[in-house]
Amino acid sequence: MKVLHLISGGDSGGAKTHLFSLLDKLKNMAEVRVGCLMEGVFYKEILEKDIDSVLFKQKNRFDLSVVDQIAEMINNEGFDVFHVHGARANFVACFVMKKINIPTVTTVHSDYLLDFDQFVKKLVFTNLNKAALKKIPYYIAVSDNFKDMLISRGFSPNSIHTVYNGMDFSCVPKVATEKEEYADKHGFAYDENKIYVGIAARFDAVKGVDVFIKAAGEVLKRKTNVEFLIAGDGVDREKLVSLAKETGNGDKIRFLGFERDMYGFLNLIDINCLTSLCESFPYSMLEGAAMGKCMVASRVGGIPSLVVEDETGLLFESGNYAEMAEKLIKLIDEPEKIKEMGENIKERATTLFTNENFARTHIEIYESIVKDYHETKKYDFVVSGYYGFHNNGDDALLLAITNELKAKKARVVVLSQRPQETREIYRVDAVSRVNLFALINTMKNSKVLLSGGGSLLQDETSSKSLWYYLFIIKLAKMLKLKVMQFANGFGPVKRKFNKRLAAKVINNNVDVITLRDDASEKLMGEVGVTKPITVTADPALLLEGASEKELAKLFESEKIPVGDYISVSVRDWKHNAPDFELSIAESIKAFMGKYKMKVVFIPMQYPNDVAISKRIAALIGEGAYVPEKQISIREAIGIVAKSKLNVAMRLHSMIYSVGKGVKTVALRYDPKIDGFMEYVGLDGILNVESLTKESMEEVMTMAYESLPLTDCESLREKAKLNTEKAIELISD
């Protein structure tokens, strides 16, 4: 692998540290050269390092005479990747790309909308950089938060890779400047009975040093055994010094100036702070972690990747100095936690964020984009299903499918009712499922159509739905894609015309069929499908739920008390028994009284299932809870997983419980419920058309006291077969 990096050459902040750290290890894994556009700080320092470098000297940032020089070097010397950093390099790269035939990738080191402060520079350079970024085909974001930022602004999720900064921890001095010596050098006496809270940052508004000072003022109103140290300088110095004096504790908030002895500073302080309003994944965190300093930091950018709440530090909402003060006081009152968290953050940093891992991840990214750049098709799979409708079950299917495919390095695009929302949630490309031009263009750039999962081919809800999915299959084959029905449920298909149509389209256009249960296989055979079928299992079985800590936080926010509970998912259905809601409520209430439990409702399709859930909860009264917020997939799975019994009318609520080994009562409104329960070997089925209080009480008691749990591991293995067969299609 041969890579040419391009950077302005004048960088002196995070981008400089980032690239130096990367190149230190990358030069041992690939052939690298660094080009600079000016003789600034970066260029002068790189000349002192053992790194191949070259100067493409611009007269000014609009001098494009360097474009031909760069392109000629790339073409003549056989570079594989052109990797650029920063606004100036992005602008030049747009012109170089027209003259080369290798992929160009840019690292997004910051929020590019905040890079320039002055009005004229912001107006001109920010807009030029925005335009340049849109033209560059690949991106490396230095945190997941930055990846989300790019996706929310319309960048293709498939084109964005994430890599967190890494550090060479072997360079951390074994012995830093002694605390007493460091304090004396800065004109104060070190007191071992005090706790020192510090921040190292340049004095720009985005770094939020004013938040640090305001929080310090609040802490000093209540604590006397603490001092605050600020290492840094910048344009806002006078304003910040005045702010410190206004707190009335200016003598306990010390300004140390620009600090060259960073490890001496970190050695002295007990708590390391970061108060940025916007951030990527700053090296100051890693330097502090290397010295075993716990952190109190704003919850922005990639910071939570290192600062894990109550484990390696404490987090507060950016700008909220009152919350920051409370977090600091919590640590000041528990000095043993300061030491414990310091040890934890050091272990986490030195395990996960080494520059060895940093460089190796870049090699993987380079290999990926080189492969993608030279592919004739943009996507491996276009995924069609009932996506973008806020249905928790179908959303779970999409999450499981995209997770499994991305784990195989596949390039995925989804047909969605809400494409932008799908891009942001699932981090895959998405297009409108009803825009014919988008459908045709997408399929022309794809290899395989995955039609699924879920019960797409049925006419119970309407024939239009069936016709839509059959049309998508037919269109894909016309455009020469391979077609797979992926973990489908099939049926019911009641109308004769629809049966004939479904059989004809499937037999003539589908290459591979996997179904999620035996009943679907039987129904497909009955309508006349003669293609080979493999019965697997639903992909949602592979998903993990929210952790106990996440679930506890959700229950606290929803005011759901701690204790045993059953979970319930219901829906309005045209054939529900007349007294369906009352029967459900009375039977659940009796069960709750008998077994001393509460009940938590899960609206699986939002907001459709909310009203009926609230009506039944109101009939039950005390101990019945319906979350006010829209429940995520992980939260829904987590709620089911921790319940003692799951009463499920929505299929994927049943799938969640079976996947987590939770006993289940199924409320049947569709043959697919029977098919699933039969496939996993469970009884406990009630028909919603004839459900009574007595029948439900009986089945709930039977399920809770005597139903065996399903062997979910064997089902999970079957679910993995879907992806294996899909990958085989693009490998043929």
C-alpha span between 349 and 358 (Å, rounded)? 12
Q: Cis before residue 607, ω within 30 degrees of 0?
A: yes
Residue 682, pLDDT above cutoff 90: no
Cβ burial of 420 (10 Å; 0-12, 13-18, 19+) is middle
Mean pLDDT calculated for residue range 434-461: 94
Please report where in the chains the tokens 């439990």 appear, as a residue: 597
For residue 39, what are the contacts with CB-CB under 8 A and spacing of at least 6? Answer: 9, 55, 57
Residue 342, pLDDT above cutoff 90: yes
Mean pLDDT calculated for residue range 542-551: 91
117, 110 Cβ separation under 8 angstroms = no
679, 658 Cβ separation under 8 angstroms = no
pLDDT single digits (tens) 156-165: 999 999 999 8
Nearest one of 173, 200, 163 to 25, comparing CA atoms: 163
| Residue 660 neighbours by CB distance under 10 Å | 21
Mean pLDDT calculated for residue range 604-619: 95
| Residue 338 neighbours by CB distance under 10 Å | 16
pLDDT at residue 453, as a whole number: 79
Residue 654, pLDDT above cutoff 80: yes
pLDDT single digits (tens) 83-104: 999 999 999 999 999 999 999 9
Residue 247, pLDDT above cutoff 90: no
Q: What is the DSSP string of 506-533?
A: HHHH-SEEEESSHHHHHHHHHTT--S--
Residue 167, pLDDT above cutoff 90: no
For residue 344, what are the contacts with CB-CB under 8 A and spacing of at least 6? Answer: 294, 308, 311, 312
Mean pLDDT calculated for residue range 144-149: 91
The enclosing H or E element of 296 equals strand 294-298
For residue 326, what are the contacts with CB-CB under 8 A and spacing of at least 6? Answer: none
Q: How confident is the model at residue 684 (pLDDT cuts 50, 70, 90)?
A: confident
6, 83 Cβ separation under 8 angstroms = yes
pLDDT at residue 464, as a whole number: 95
Mean residue pLDDT across the chain: 93
pLDDT single digits (tens) 27-69: 999 999 999 999 999 999 999 999 999 999 999 888 999 999 9
The tokens for 246 are: 């206004």
Task: Work out whether the CA dihedral 673, 679, 682, 683 comes out positive or negative.
Answer: positive
Q: How confident is the model at residue 302 (pLDDT cuts 50, 70, 90)?
A: confident
C-alpha span between 693 and 582 (Å, rounded)? 8
Q: Rounded to the nearest 5 degrees, what angle is found at the Cα of 354, between the Cα atoms of 349 and 360?
A: 140
pLDDT single digits (tens) 120-135: 777 888 899 999 999 9
Mean pLDDT calculated for residue range 274-296: 90
C-alpha span between 664 and 333 (Å, rounded)? 47
Residue 708, pLDDT above cutoff 70: no
Residue 388, pLDDT above cutoff 70: yes
Residue 108, pLDDT above cutoff 90: yes
| Residue 512 neighbours by CB distance under 10 Å | 20
Strands laid side by side in the 598-601 sheet: 624-625, 598-601, 565-569, 646-648, 664-668, 685-687
C-alpha span between 109 and 130 (Å, rounded)? 14
C-alpha span between 195 and 268 (Å, rounded)? 10
C-alpha span between 135 and 638 (Å, rounded)? 41
SS3 label, residue 312: coil
Q: How confident is the model at residue 510 (pLDDT cuts 50, 70, 90)?
A: very high
Q: Enumerate domains of the chain plus CATH numbers.
A: 2-165 (3.40.50.2000), 170-352 (3.40.50.2000), 376-535 (3.40.50.720), 548-715 (3.40.50.2000)
Q: Please report, as a single letter, which amino acid is at residue 69.
A: Q
For residue 497, what are the contacts with CB-CB under 8 A and spacing of at least 6? Answer: none
More confident residue, 295 or 118: 295
The C-alpha R_g of the chain, in whole angstroms, comes to: 30
Residue 537, pLDDT above cutoff 80: yes
